[in-house]
């Protein structure tokens, strides 16, 4: 008999952890960090001592969570889902959404002077690529979903007496270019085409429920970004390092507005290189992309360009940088020319800080105002909007709904009826 235990993410956003037992088989979906608790105990000055302390404070899953575990499936790389892999106490396999992208991220974590150093796993844990659209030996199949971290997967588990769908984090729509380039077929299309798959239990996130929202969809964001582009000005954009969907969206606007994409972040450049090998189609929107040599030391696939060259024709570029590093990048452009001072700054912050921590919008705004730069917040949520829950349920038609990653599970029960 299939047994589901929601070990993290019950009535809270963050710390997703679902343990599924079926006869002698045990698997785990996600094993995230509970940032709501993390933030209550730690700051820049007080850092975690190590895994035992984090376990004691119940910020990461307990040792018992991993008992008899066969495989751990990670839906995407947001840390409230990936968690700290060094917490895994036993020999096991961890399926990651993309091993290449993970490796690009891991380099930075291993060198971190603080807690991200606990993210990489111990030597006895084996990391593997998730194979999409194919049922594995545990009877689990991974299907892509649209989210603000790429790639992201939902998982279907075909148990002995029940079929379970765990959505991870997801939104309902994306723009056409993004779909063509990044997703072959997302979960809704997959279920539509495979009518024989009937879901008994749907474990679905409800992040946006009860939050004040401006329900902007990706195509509306595209329109707004297009409006902010000016022919005679540089455009500055900042995204989260994992948000490849936003990167493609910005690139597609830049292409139609005849601006070259200028990458100014070593982390983004590294992830883009990994994306090039994992998703070759991405080349068609990023073919004219160049990287700023003052920020990216080397690149095997992208041409490098100096600040001096960029300054000669500022209006020809749309600069994309890591949201956590924008203030740092601006310093490199000093003294700012008139052309730059009035450039629009498009901030694409998909998720609030409680899911991934440690980004300070107020500090960034202060820096921008110091330079006379106007920020525009284009916030496309990585999660579906509450009014979209009913259509989602109608598409999936589950026998039962199990809410996760939400502060208001009772809203979800009510909305899903």
Smallest separation (angstroms) from Zn ion to the CB of 386:
17
Smallest separation (angstroms) from Zn ion to the CB of 357:
13
As a whole number of Å, the end-to-end CA separation of the chain is 26
Q: Which of 19, 25, 78, 233 binds Zn ion (CB under 5 A)?
A: 78
Site stretch for Zn ion (CB under 5 A), options 7-15, 165-173, 249-257, 266-274: 165-173
Nearer to Zn ion, 84 or 373 (CB): 84
Nearer to Zn ion, 233 or 405 (CB): 405
Q: Write out the E strands in 257-313.
A: 260-263, 290-292, 303-305
Dihedral sign of CA atoms 86, 89, 90, 95 in order: negative
Nearer to Zn ion, 169 or 327 (CB): 169
Q: How far apart are alpha carbons 293 and 406 in whole angstroms?
A: 42
Q: How far apart are alpha carbons 265 and 36 in whole angstroms?
A: 29
Smallest separation (angstroms) from Zn ion to the CB of 353:
13
Nearer to Zn ion, 22 or 243 (CB): 243
Site for Zn ion contains 169 (CB under 5 A) = yes
Smallest separation (angstroms) from Zn ion to the CB of 201:
21
Site for Zn ion contains 245 (CB under 5 A) = no
b vs e for 354-372, b when ≥16 Cβ sit within 10 Å of the residue's Cβ? bbbbeeeeeebbeebeebe
Smallest separation (angstroms) from Zn ion to the CB of 59:
17
b vs e for 29-44, b when ≥16 Cβ sit within 10 Å of the residue's Cβ? bbbbbbbbbbeeebee
Smallest separation (angstroms) from Zn ion to the CB of 163:
24
Cβ burial, residue 321 (10 Å; 0-12/13-18/19+): buried
- Over the window 361 to 380, marking each residue x when it contacts Zn ion by CB under 5 A and - when it does not, the resulting string is --------------------
Nearer to Zn ion, 76 or 267 (CB): 76
Site stretch for Zn ion (CB under 5 A), options 11-19, 164-172, 202-210, 242-250: 164-172
Do 242 and 351 touch, CB atoms closer than 8 A? no
Q: How far apart are alpha carbons 34 and 28 in whole angstroms?
A: 16
Nearer to Zn ion, 78 or 325 (CB): 78
Do 147 and 140 touch, CB atoms closer than 8 A? no
Nearer to Zn ion, 119 or 291 (CB): 119
Size of the site for Zn ion (CB under 5 A): 2
Site for Zn ion contains 30 (CB under 5 A) = no
Site stretch for Zn ion (CB under 5 A), options 74-82, 93-101, 230-238, 254-262: 74-82
Q: How far apart are alpha carbons 303 and 309 in whole angstroms?
A: 13
Three-state SS annotation for 331-366: HHCCCCCHHHHCCEEEEECCCCHHHHCCCCHHHHHH
Instruction: Return the DSSP state at 64.
Output: G
Smallest separation (angstroms) from Zn ion to the CB of 82:
9
Which residues sit at the interface with Zn ion, rule CB under 5 A? 78, 169
């Amino acid at each position: 008999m299939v047994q589901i235990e929601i070990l993290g993410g019950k009535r809270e956003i963050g710390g997703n952890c679902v343990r599924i037992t079926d006869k002698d088989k045990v698997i785990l979906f996600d094993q995230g960090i509970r940032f709501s608790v993390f933030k209550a105990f730690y700051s820049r000055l007080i850092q975690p001592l190590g895994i035992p302390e984090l376990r004691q404070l119940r910020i990461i899953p307990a040792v018992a969570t991993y008992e008899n575990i066969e495989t751990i499936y990670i839906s995407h790389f947001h840390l409230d889902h990936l968690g700290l892999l060094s917490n895994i106490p036993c020999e096991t396999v961890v399926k990651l959404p993309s091993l290449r992208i993970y490796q690009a991220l891991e380099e930075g974590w291993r060198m971190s002077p603080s807690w991200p150093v606990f993210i990489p796993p111990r030597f006895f844990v084996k990391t593997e690529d998730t194979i999409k659209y194919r049922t594995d030996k545990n009877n689990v199949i991974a299907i892509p979903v649209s989210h603000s971290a790429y790639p992201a997967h939902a998982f279907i588990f075909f148990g002995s007496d029940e079929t379970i769908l765990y959505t991870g984090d997801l939104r309902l729509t994306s723009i056409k270019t993004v779909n063509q380039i990044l997703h072959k077929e997302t979960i809704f299309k997959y279920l539509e085409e495979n009518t024989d798959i009937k879901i008994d239990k749907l474990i679905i996130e409800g992040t946006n429920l009860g939050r004040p929202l401006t329900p902007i969809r990706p195509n509306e964001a595209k329109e707004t970004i297009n409006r902010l582009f000016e022919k005679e000005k540089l455009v500055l954009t900042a995204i989260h390092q994992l948000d490849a969907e936003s990167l493609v969206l910005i690139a597609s606007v830049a292409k139609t507005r005849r601006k070259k994409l200028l990458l100014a972040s070593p982390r983004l450049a590294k992830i883009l290189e990994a994306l090039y090998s994992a998703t070759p189609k991405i080349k068609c929107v990023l073919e004219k992309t160049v990287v700023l040599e003052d920020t990216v030391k080397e690149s095997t696939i992208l041409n490098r360009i100096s600040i001096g060259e960029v300054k000669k024709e500022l209006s020809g570029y749309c600069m994309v940088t890591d949201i956590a590093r924008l203030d740092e990048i601006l310093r490199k452009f000093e003294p700012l020319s008139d052309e730059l001072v009035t450039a629009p700054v498009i901030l694409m912050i998909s998720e609030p800080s409680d899911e991934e921590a440690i980004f300070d919008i107020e500090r960034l705004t202060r820096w921008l105002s110091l330079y006379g730069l106007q920020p525009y917040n284009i916030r496309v949520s990585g999660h579906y909007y509450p009014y979209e829950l009913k259509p989602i349920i109608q598409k999936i038609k589950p026998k039962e709904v199990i809410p996760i990653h939400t502060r208001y599970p009772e809203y979800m029960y009510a909305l899903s009826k």
